[in-house]
Amino acid sequence: MKLNEIRENDGATRNRKRVGRGIGSGRGKTSGAGHKGQKARSGVAIKGFEGGQMPIHRRLPKRGFTNIFRKNYVEVNLGRIQSAVDAGKLDSKKPVDAAMLVEAGVISKARDGVRILGKGELKAKVELHAAGASKSAVEAVEKAGGKIVLLAPSSE
């Protein structure tokens, strides 16, 4: 193979569309834009325009709002905590808080706080410091001999 023999595969490239080059080309005169009107001109952007009919985004009712004070908690199940204790990533003798859970790799980031949920089984005696906990989680931790300390919500 020589440099002058190198070429694209058949059908790999197409010629660009040359508009406005005479009526014999099939794309002459109006260049495929039709006759007159707003869409025949350049710079047309009629997003959401429905020909004078009331647009759908104005016909439909608007409801609800976004609560800017909403807290975004990270949920952690007891089973995940137990597996971290078994793997030696968490020390059950020290109080476990959000920073320790991040360090152990149980959660990726603390967000607005940690909420403990009761899925899974907890055998280790652990003191958990969290923003919230479900009733089943509190019962399971106390049954294992530990306790859950609920932190006061931060007033931001």
Could you give the C-alpha distances from 93 to 15, 54, 80, 124, 136, in angstroms and in order?
A: 73, 66, 17, 9, 22
Coil/strand/helix, residue 82: helix
Residue 152: what pLDDT? 81
Q: Tens place of pLDDT for every residue, the chain, 156 residues?
A: 899 999 999 999 999 999 999 999 999 999 999 999 888 998 888 888 888 899 999 999 999 999 999 999 999 999 999 999 999 898 888 999 999 999 999 999 989 999 999 999 999 899 999 999 999 999 999 999 999 999 887 655
d(CA 101, CA 92): 12
| Spatial CA neighbour of 148 closest among 69, 76, 83, 72 | 76
Q: Domain 74-150 falls in which CATH fold?
A: Ribosomal Protein L15; Chain: K; domain 2 (3.100.10)
Residue 156: what pLDDT? 54
